Structure 1
Amino acid sequence: MFVSEKLGRFTADFHNTPVGAEVMHHARRALVDWYGALLAGYPMAPTPMVEKSLALELDQGKARLPLGRAASTRAAALINGTASHTAEVDDIYREAIYHPGAPTFSAAMAVGQALEVSGMEFLKAAIAGYETSTRIGRTLGRTHYQHWHNTGTVGTFGAATAAAYLLGLNAVQTANAIALSATFAAGLQQAFKMDSLAKPLHSGRAAEAGVTAAMMAQQGVISSLDVFEGEAGLGHAMSNSPDWSHALDDLGTAFNINSMTFKNHACCGHTFAPIDGVLTLQQRHGIDVQDIEKVVIATYSPAIAVAGNSHPTTAPEARFSITFVVATALIHGSVRLAAFEPERLASPAIRALMSRIELQVDETADARFPGQRSAQVSITTKGGQQHSMLQPTRKGDPDLPLTDAELNDKFLELGLPTLGEARSKTLSAALWKLDEAKDLGALC
């Protein structure tokens, strides 16, 4: 069987597969995290622009946008997929260098609302999407990440799988949906090397493309089922011709949704180990920010390639600037959404400290990427004292996870500006018990 056929069989069979309590708990955690990211990003550019551009597809259909506006299934997938990746607070599967929640849940929500499915079926669709896509992303590996934005590429498979599951496609139809979505997969890293609003669109398009592929497969559209391992397939075209023979060995036995990273800072995940490290050093040694002479961050090379912008001028650029977020953390104690407001971006104090931060590649950290995200951090004071430490992981990674309470607090913080306190708390309660709901009506 080809990879697409194995994925199709797993997804079709998953309808009759019971989900254990641990897996369902982690699915609820992923849902809470995704919905917080959705609410945070909904009012932020480019989401309102995308919504206006799709005006002809709104105010009709059974799918819903975050504040309840009706939308066609595909428009909802695209808009919600964009919104939930805009604020840079969505989840990560680090081994695949991939944000599964934004494309997968956005696709599942759009189709699930249109079909009026139960909360349990919605969550099972998302679980299936996480499981298939994370393994594809893990196999494509670091080579794929040199040029491609994995959430735009790999995300199509999470979206297609979730949509196919909810549409009730059989194994052959699902295999074709996944194979079709492979030829839709796109998203270049160069799209966000400069000031740009393109990056969140990768997630939105992945969600929409996956939904579209599943709908087409339902109507009998077929594709080359060897699209992953074929001589002109995804593996050769977008990676280093990886070996697919064991890519799915643990599919259905190990659940990657149990091993998600949930962000503790509102910026690129590559910046997190440096942020956590400097905050630990500052607190441990009582370092006054005014006394800092120099900061050295030594981390893995993709972090510097993606987030090495030392002169950001806009919020999208600043979210991908290690120097900006490290300086912000040292001065303000955290990196939340407020970090990217205009007054912070122009802050003389932040800019002055940024000029004293040096970035280096650490060979050990580089060799352990993507499975481990670490950084060596050092702060030298004006009195000549040097304080150094290894930050071996990130707060929010599976080996240093956010608790349910911390995750819920994050959701409330993100949801409050859009929904207000009362509605945010009501929605939070509904999300944590969605597997018991007969439909998705409580979420809009």
Structure 2
Amino acid sequence: MTRAFHQFAAELSYDDLPEAVLKVLRRSFLDTMGVAAIGSTTTMALIARDTALAMFGAGTIGASRILMHGARLSPAGAAMAGGFIIDSVDAHDGTSPCKGHAGSAVFPALLAMGDIKDDIDGIEFALLLAIAYEVSYRAGLAQHATCPDYHTSGAWTAVGVATACARALDCSADQIRHAAGIGEYHGPRSQMMRCIDHPTMLRDGVGWGAPSGITAAFLAQRGFTGAPALTCEEAPTFWEDLGMAWRLAEDTHYKPYPCCRWAHPALDAAQELMRDHDLHHSQIERVEIRTFHNATRLAGHQPKTPDEFAYAIAFPVAAMIVRGQVGVPELAEETLRDPDIVNISKATELIDDDHFTAISDGKRWAQVAFYLRDGRRVEAAPRTPRGDTDLPLSDTEISEKFHLFADPVLGPARAHEIETLAIEFDQLSRADFARLRDLCLSPPPGAYSS
């Protein structure tokens, strides 16, 4: 590699960031805060907050506020609670080649760091985000290429968070190297397919990836050793163009629907078929979804909890057929008992397609067909999901999604101010960035006491 990852992290400057990178970071800031707003209302978020408050009191390092809550505890505790808050609604940004997500760990960790430093401006925060995302993505690629198990995002975001937080602490390149090794070693090497097969609140592991990374940085600053991070130093193929090409600009996707990305091509196809053939759900006798192997393990014909809904295909597709959308109302528990959706879901067959499995490496393929009660069969073309860089969501779609999630929780005025500041966050002064941070870390009106 032309420059070792720890030297890259120690030496990178804002002027090194291409406009394409900054555009992604701005979009991700807005998109992630929308997910955090709606996520803050979930039972999973409540449990994570209460546990963090019980176990992670602030110490001599200083206090950080919990995302969308405002209570103060240690930076690790704030990162833990914030990671679970964002991860509680499966609508945050991701990276298809890594089969996971970085922003859900990176944002709560770096906002917690910003809260204790209190002197970070937009330029510095953009720099830290770029380091965290880029190192996370490359560590994730290396891990998936060298490990037999499919690990959660918490495993490799711990490395990116550790690297960026060590930079935020003004660590030397050697200390940054050790921070990455500590974060990798102590990060959650959790098996993602366990949560696919048995959906629970474990989700994507970022609730432990974020605090593991931030703790690793503070350990390294004090002389704790942990190098090498194997994903950074023993898989050189994934690091050779570091600083010349940017994985975060090439690989970051955005979700139009709050459920597992693997269901999205089928959701797009179902929406298209309903619209193009002017169908009503009562006309559909059964549904056939051909997709790649791991996606068929989502199943979810009769989810009993929001976690089972998040890791399903059949039920979200049925919701799209019946309601024409999969949005905030579909996250309500009463949706799980909607008889029209349940009937369509039970009449949905998932087919493990060898061809789609073979080509779903970095992309997610599916094909949907409807069998109608009048004997007709209608079929959509095979597709990958919207939101990838080849089928991007527009700025307007990102904005609409943000307000869909944030306005009911934060109020339109506060949501509008977050959007105004987030879409230019890297240009903000210390005072203006502190205002944006306050808007993201303070509780919704009348929701909780801090």
Please indicate, yes or no, whether the TM-score normalized by the shorter chain is above 0.5.
Answer: yes
Distance 1:229 1:412, change over 3 A: closer
Distance 1:253 1:332, change over 3 A: same
SS in 2 for 1:293: strand
**Where do residues 189-268 of structure 1 align in structure 2 (5 Å cutoff)?**
189=192, 190-191=194-195, 193-199=197-203, 202-225=205-228, 227-228=230-231, 244-259=235-250, 260-268=252-260
Q: Deviations over 1:42-80 (max 9, x none)?
A: 121222112112225458844222243333211111111
User: What is aligned with 1:14?
Assistant: 12
Contact 1:192 1:198 in 2 (8 A): no
User: What is aligned with 2:434?
Assistant: 441
Distance 1:19 1:175, change over 3 A: same
User: What is aligned with 2:70?
Assistant: 68
SS in 2 for 1:158: helix
Distance 1:216 1:229, change over 3 A: closer
CA distance in 2, matches of 1:147, 1:247: 17
Query: 1:229, CA displacement in angstroms?
Result: 8.1
Contact 1:267 1:320 in 2 (8 A): yes
User: For residue 70 of structure 1, what is the amino acid of its counterpart?
Assistant: R
Query: 1:188, CA displacement in angstroms?
Result: 2.7
Q: Deviations over 1:296-351 (max 9, x none)?
A: 1001111122x123231111101211110000000001111211312210111111
Match of residue 363, structure 1, among 348, 354, 363: 354
CA distance in 2, matches of 1:317, 1:363: 25
Query: 1:143, CA displacement in angstroms?
Result: 7.6
User: What is aligned with 1:296?
Assistant: 288
Query: 1:35, CA displacement in angstroms?
Result: 1.2
User: For residue 264 of structure 2, what is the amino acid of its counterpart?
Assistant: F
CA distance in 2, matches of 1:406, 1:430: 18
Q: Percent identity?
A: 25
**Where do residues 145-224 of structure 1 align in structure 2 (5 Å cutoff)?**
146-149=149-152, 151-186=153-188, 187-189=190-192, 190-191=194-195, 193-199=197-203, 202-224=205-227
Q: Deviations over 1:131-184 (max 9, x none)?
A: 1111121223378584422x1211211211221221122211111000111111
CA distance in 1, matches of 2:123, 2:14: 13
Contact 2:52 2:80 in 1 (8 A): no
Match of residue 26, structure 1, among 15, 24, 27: 24
Contact 1:142 1:370 in 2 (8 A): no
CA distance in 1, matches of 2:154, 2:19: 30
Query: 1:11, CA displacement in angstroms?
Result: 0.6
SS in 2 for 1:199: coil
List gaps (5 residues or longer) in structure 1: 231-242
CA distance in 1, matches of 2:105, 2:148: 18
SS in 2 for 1:426: helix
List gaps (5 residues or longer) in structure 2: 439-450
User: For residue 217 of structure 1, what is the amino acid of its counterpart?
Assistant: A
Contact 1:40 1:418 in 2 (8 A): yes
Distance 1:370 1:422, change over 3 A: same
Contact 1:62 1:73 in 2 (8 A): yes
Contact 1:139 1:247 in 2 (8 A): yes
2:31 corresponds to 1:40? no
CA RMSD of superposed structures (Å): 2.1
2:128 corresponds to 1:130? no
